[in-house]
């Protein structure tokens, strides 16, 4: 779907969207349409239960006095309560309502509203961004889909004063949507198509945006001593990979110019289990197909790097993803095996289904060891227990750094990807004590499964400021949301892009 911005002149044909405020107060565009309709818009509104409340809608087919096919009236609520996220949701709602109704082009009229904190150009850009985010589709394998079931909308025209400004604002947001779409695409692909090597190849495509991409193969990882990650991959015919992505976008700092160390990067680490069968500790077959998106953390890191490079963010960022397939076979790792991680810590593998932490153990250590980053944020579909805690509404946040945790939580609120901070503590770490190795991969006690998993990860970051996002509950949505169609959500890309923009870009 193409987005264009143009000056606020109402079209004579096609589909037109106008807004109405709380208590049926018409916006200037709605008033203009009403006068073209000789007052019949007001009459139609009065004949319905439409009050202009936020997210309420009313469709009028073939409005009298015009050559329009339809007028779509949207409720805006109170002008003083209009916010960015609400405008994005409105755009998403417009796409959902009109995307497949037969219109090739839909025009949305945006007005200056008294008491509203956003100007028309800002509102227009948010509406367009929301529509774009909602328009994602993964239908490449639905070869028999009827033409009449496919979306028809190919152009969204947003009408507002200051449309040149709207276009610029939207261009920035479009880069975020590009990253989100890439992530959604990767998590949607089936596990026979996306496996460590093919996912690494997808990451390689970022090279054309100026990202430096390196792929470590099994031999290289063996040489580095990554026994924890490699143990998980032992049962699979697919070779494990680790991908390192580097984006150098920071302006040279004063320190560097004086011959000091180059600007230290911030780092993102992702769990990339391209299919999690559980391994020898095999999962029940019901719902096992969901485990294709157990590479969601890696998918977010790739999508985020695409966004940062796409918008030429003034930051040095590193992305490290550990890619493995967790399969049962005669060569698979067994419960009881003891592996040696790159950090030197030995791990007793009690349950081969607690594999994500084993992958991250080596990815985190490698990242810290090689780049000595300012901070590390990891993302992982790590535990089913976080879904018990937080459902599909919020991701779990764990951190050894209060400032970082606050910044992440604040960014999540801004972009509508909320997180909730969970505790860490020695009392949880003790539950990971092993009789035969330095640590065991699942807790020996009861409960707190997400916390003990995070506690396990913490052993592999030392003192580096670190945050872990358990995204098991938010990576896939079973239902349509305003700016997220059901399926892969891309949760994390918008949040981390916002975090970088707010705190880690050079002037």
Contact present, 192 and 200 (Cβ < 8 Å): no
DSSP 220-240: HHHHHT-HHHHHHHTT-SSPP
**Catalytic member of 218, 283, 421, 433:** 283
397: left (phi over 0), alpha (psi -120 to 50) or beta: beta
Q: What whole-number distance in Å separates Cα of residue 263 and Cα of residue 248?
A: 9
Contact present, 200 and 215 (Cβ < 8 Å): yes
> What are φ and ψ of residue 134, in 5° steps?
-75, -20
Q: In the chain, count of helices (H) and strands (E)?
A: 16, 20
Q: Which of 92, 231, 356, 449: binder of Zn ion (CB under 5 A)?
A: 356
CB nearer to Mn ion: pick between 118 and 354: 354
> What are φ and ψ of residue 59, in 5° steps?
-105, 135
Q: Which stretch binds ligand BES (CB under 6 A): 144-152, 228-236, 255-263, 383-391?
A: 383-391
Which 3-state string (H, E, C) describes 252-291?
A: CCHHHHCCCCCCCCEEEEEEEEEEECCCCCCCCCCCHHHH
Give least dist CB 381 to Zn ion, A: 6
Q: With binding defined as CB under 6 A, does residue 337 bind ligand BES?
A: no
Q: With binding defined as CB under 6 A, does residue 356 bind ligand BES?
A: yes
Q: With binding defined as CB under 6 A, does residue 189 bind ligand BES?
A: no
Query: What is the SS3 assignment for 126?
Result: helix
Encoded one letter per residue, x for contact with ligand BES by CB under 6 A and - for no contact, window 279-308 reads ---------------x--------------
Q: Which stretch binds ligand BES (CB under 6 A): 18-26, 125-133, 379-387, 431-439?
A: 379-387
Q: What whole-number distance in Å separates Cα of residue 218 and Cα of residue 86?
A: 47
218 as an active site residue: the answer is no
CB nearer to Mn ion: pick between 32 and 324: 324
Contact present, 5 and 166 (Cβ < 8 Å): yes
* Partner whose binding site includes residue 472, from Mn ion, Zn ion, ligand BES, none (CB under 5 to 8 Å by kind): ligand BES
Torsion angle (degrees, nearest 10) of CA 216, 217, 220, 222: 120
CB nearer to ligand BES: pick between 21 and 395: 395
Q: With binding defined as CB under 6 A, does residue 351 bind ligand BES?
A: yes
* Partner whose binding site includes residue 449, from ligand BES, Mn ion, Zn ion, none (CB under 5 to 8 Å by kind): ligand BES
Q: Which residues of 398-421 are buried (b: 16+ CB within 10 A; e: fewer)?
A: bbbeeebbebbbebbeebbbbbeb
Q: Which of 276, 348, 362, 497: binder of Zn ion (CB under 5 A)?
A: 276
**Catalytic member of 157, 357, 407, 459:** 357
Encoded one letter per residue, x for contact with ligand BES by CB under 6 A and - for no contact, window 247-286 reads -----------------------------x----------
> Scanning residues 337 to 366, which ones bind Mn ion (CB under 5 A)?
353, 355
> Scanning residues 446 to 475, which ones bind ligand BES (CB under 6 A)?
449, 472
157 as an active site residue: the answer is no
Q: Which stretch binds ligand BES (CB under 6 A): 117-125, 185-193, 258-266, 378-386?
A: 378-386
Question: What number of residues does the chain have?
Answer: 507
Q: Could you list the residues that contact Mn ion (CB under 5 A)?
A: 276, 353, 355
Q: Could you list the residues that contact ligand BES (CB under 6 A)?
A: 276, 294, 351, 353-356, 381, 383-385, 442, 449, 472
Annotated catalytic sites, by residue? 283, 357
Q: Could you list the residues that contact Zn ion (CB under 5 A)?
A: 273, 276, 294, 356
């Amino acid at each position: 779907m193409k987005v264009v911005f143009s000056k606020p002149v109402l079209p004579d044909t096609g589909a037109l969207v106008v807004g109405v405020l709380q208590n049926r107060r018409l916006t200037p565009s709605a008033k203009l349409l009403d006068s073209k309709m000789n007052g019949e818009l007001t009459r139609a509104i009065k004949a319905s239960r439409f009050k202009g409340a936020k997210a309420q809608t009313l469709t009028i087919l073939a409005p009298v006095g015009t050559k329009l096919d339809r007028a779509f009236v949207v409720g805006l609520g109170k002008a003083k309560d209009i916010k960015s996220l609400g405008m994005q949701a409105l755009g998403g709602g417009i796409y959902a309502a009109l995307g497949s109704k037969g219109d090739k082009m839909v025009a949305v009229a945006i007005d200056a509203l008294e008491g509203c904190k956003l100007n028309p150009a800002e509102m227009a850009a948010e509406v367009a961004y929301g529509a774009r985010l909602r328009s994602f589709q993964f239908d490449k394998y639905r070869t028999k889909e009827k033409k009449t079931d496919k979306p028809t909308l190919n152009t969204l025209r947003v009408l507002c004063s200051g449309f040149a400004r709207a276009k610029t604002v939207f261009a920035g947001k479009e880069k975020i949507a590009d990253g989100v779409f890439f992530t959604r695409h990767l998590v949607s692909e089936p596990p026979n198509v996306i496996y460590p090597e093919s996912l690494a190849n997808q990451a390689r495509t970022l090279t054309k945006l100026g990202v430096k991409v390196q792929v470590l193969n099994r031999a290289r990882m063996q040489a580095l001593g990554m026994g924890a990650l490699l143990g998980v991959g032992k049962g699979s015919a697919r070779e494990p990979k680790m991908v390192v992505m580097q984006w150098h976008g920071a302006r040279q700092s004063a320190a560097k110019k004086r011959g000091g160390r180059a600007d230290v990067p911030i780092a993102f680490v992702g769990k990339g289990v391209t299919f999690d069968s559980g391994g020898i500790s095999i999962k029940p077959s019901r719902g096992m197909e969901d485990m294709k998106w157990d590479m969601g953390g890696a998918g977010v890191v790739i999508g985020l790097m695409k966004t940062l490079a796409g918008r030429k963010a003034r930051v040095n960022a590193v992305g490290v993803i550990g890619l493995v397939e967790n399969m049962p076979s005669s060569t698979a790792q067994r419960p009881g095996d003891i592996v040696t991680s790159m950090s030197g810590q030995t791990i007793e593998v009690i349950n081969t289904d607690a594999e994500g932490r084993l992958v991250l153990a080596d990815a985190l250590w490698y990242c810290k060891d090689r780049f000595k980053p300012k901070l590390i944020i990891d993302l992982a579909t790590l535990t089913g227990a976080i879904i018990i805690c937080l459902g599909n509404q919020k991701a779990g946040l764990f951190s050894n750094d209060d400032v970082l945790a606050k910044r992440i939580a604040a960014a999540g609120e801004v972009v509508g990807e909320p997180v909730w901070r969970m505790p860490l503590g020695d009392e949880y770490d003790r539950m990971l004590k092993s009789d035969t190795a330095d640590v065991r991969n699942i807790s020996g006690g009861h409960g707190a499964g997400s916390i003990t998993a995070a506690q396990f990860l913490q052993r592999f970051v030392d003192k580096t400021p670190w945050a872990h996002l358990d995204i098991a509950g938010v990576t896939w949505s079973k239902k349509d949301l305003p700016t997220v169609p059901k399926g892969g959500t891309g949760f994390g890309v918008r949040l981390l892009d916002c975090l970088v923009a707010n705190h880690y870009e050079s002037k």
